[in-house]
Chain A
Amino acid sequence: AAGVIQSPRHLIKEKRETATLKCYPIPRHDTVYWYQQGPGQDPQFLISFYEKMQSDKGSIPDRFSAQQFSDYHSELNMSSLELGDSALYFCASSLFGELFFGEGSRLTVL
Chain B
Amino acid sequence: KNEVEQSPQNLTAQEGEFITINCSYSVGISALHWLQQHPGGGIVSLFMLSSGKKKHGRLIATINIQEKHSSLHITASHPRDSAVYICAVSRGEGSQGNLIFGKGTKLSVKP
Contact = CB atoms under 8 A, between A and B. Distances in A.
Contacts, number: 65
Given A48-B95, A50-B95, A104 B43 contact: yes
Q: B interface, how many residues as a size bin?
A: 20 to 34
A106 interface: yes
Interface of B is mostly: strand
A17 B95 CA distance: 31
A99 B88 CA distance: 11
Interface of A is mostly: strand
B31 interface: yes
Interface stretch (B18-26, B58-66, B71-79, B99-107): B99-107
Interface of A: 31, 33, 35, 37, 42-45, 48, 50, 55-56, 58, 88, 90, 92, 94, 97-104, 106
Given A43-B101, A90-B43, 10 more contacts: A42-B104, A43-B99, A50-B95, A99-B33, A101-B35, A102-B42, A103-B40, A104-B41, A104-B42, A106-B41
